[in-house]
Amino acid sequence: MRKTLFLSLLFALFAELLFGQTVQNNALEQFREEKFGMFLHWGLYAQTAGDWKGHKVKGGEHFMLYERIPVQEYGTIASQFNPIKFNADAWVKQARETGMKYIVFTAKHHDGFAMYNSASSDYNIVKKSPFKCDPIAELAKACKKYKITLCLYYSLGRDWQDPDVPTNWPVKAGRSNTWDYPNEDAKVFNRYFERKVKPQITELLTSYGPIGVLWFDTPELISKKESAELKALVNKLQPNCLVNNRIGNGYGDFSISEQSLTPSSKQAWESCLTIGQNWGYNRHDSLWKSPEVLARHLVEVVANGGNLLLNVGPKGDGTFPDWATERLKAVGKWMDVNHEAIYNSHPWLVVKENTREINNNVSIEESKSAIKDAVFDGTPKNIVPDVYYTSKDKVVYAFLRSWQSANVTLKQINKNKISIKNIELLGNKNKVRWALSDQELKLNLPDDFKKKNIIPVYVLKITTN
């Protein structure tokens, strides 16, 4: 009898583990198929918009650290924060029209201020600001309406409001609040973990419906035991919810390349990029990536098997900056034509047509291990014509990035012994002329392949037998 009971319990445990693993694998596959998401950095830093006490600050949304502003003083920004133009429906609709499949919203950034109605910490937008509304509740409704996956960012190893958060980057106490809490050795991460992290993660996973990803940031000094405990909590509350590698200690479902297009993993990975210089809204930001550059980055990331998470920093009034909206709309028009080469696609046998390496200004090792701080951009700056590939079923997609000539020569197609059935140019009904030899595939694009006000990144759909 005891043996039978033991075997039954063992079987039940095995079945539960197998089911949990299947659920996680399905969620990860969906994430990898979505390819394109919107990052939303929004907090008290949007209200100050790059200024403090009459001068321009350093560190963007990290300015509390750079200016060494006491928590009590920094918290007074909340009394001015009343984003009456915030419209979750408009935000999510714009994400969808841009061709994005998910959004990641900053539930709590390094300043420790919760951008939702946290029951475990009064230091939040509902209790401290005149706005009195919960943005995540509104975003959850809009995401459900537009069939967008809601994901939430949470600063894990940095919290400048809490007295128990030691840091070690780039040196001991390098990103700690040492002006309010100067004794670094007296700080015990686990007290913060139990008092704030676990309760808030529980709130986020039980108050807003399905969450696709908990996007943790800056693991800093979290222990392996605490990372495992946090992952188990997430799995218990929402088995379908993924976590990124910044949960710490190897417990992530996918890895991050920040401000870099360099793959951070041979498995699932995501590149998170800004449109301008800063993550949060900054009125002094004036260097913005063009729609062409954004499309190039999306193609390069997807061709390397990754997802692109493109950041927008909404303003203090709750609206997107005009320059961000303009670029999102342009990318959206490009996606309307070429989305089939992005969604559900996979890397082809080769990533790109040539072997020329672009200097990303960041090594592979650095992108894997380092967490970038404040203003940084390691993405390619040079714009030259080149070819990248993705594939799906019996189709190979060739992206002609920044292409100017009607003549195209592809050497990788014949090198990989592809039997071609048909070739067309997405978004163009005119015939593509082509000839395949032992050495190469030569193509002539339609005379009207270049159109005004369209991003010059074109896609050849090569259907094989």
The structure's pTM equals 0.92
| Extents of the domains making up the chain | 16-344, 347-464
Rounded CA separation 311/331 (Å): 13
* Nearest-10 Cα torsion for 315, 156, 25, 39: 10
What's residue 9's pLDDT? 54
Rounded CA separation 198/178 (Å): 24
Strand stretches in 240-306, DSSP E: 242-243, 255-258, 269-274
pLDDT single digits (tens) 240-297: 999 999 999 999 999 999 999 999 888 999 999 999 999 999 999 999 999 999 999 9
Mapping DSSP onto H, E and C, the string for 20-37 reads HHHHHHHHHHHHHHHCEE
pLDDT single digits (tens) 273-283: 999 999 999 99
User: Which residues of the chain register pLDDT less than 70?
Assistant: 1-21, 355-375
- Shortest CA distance to 237 belongs to which of 203, 272, 284? 203
* Nearest-10 Cα torsion for 184, 186, 187, 189: 130
347-464: same fold as 16-344?
no
Q: Which CATH fold topology does 16-344 show? A: TIM Barrel (3.20.20)
What's residue 176's pLDDT? 98
What's residue 19's pLDDT? 53
What's residue 453's pLDDT? 72
What's residue 4's pLDDT? 65
What's residue 351's pLDDT? 96
DSSP string covering 194-256: IIIIHHHHHHHHHSSS--SEEEEE--TT--HHHHHHHHHHHHHH-TT-EEBGGGSTT--SBEE
Q: What is the CATH number of domain 347-464?
A: 2.60.40.1180
Rounded CA separation 358/381 (Å): 9
What's residue 120's pLDDT? 97
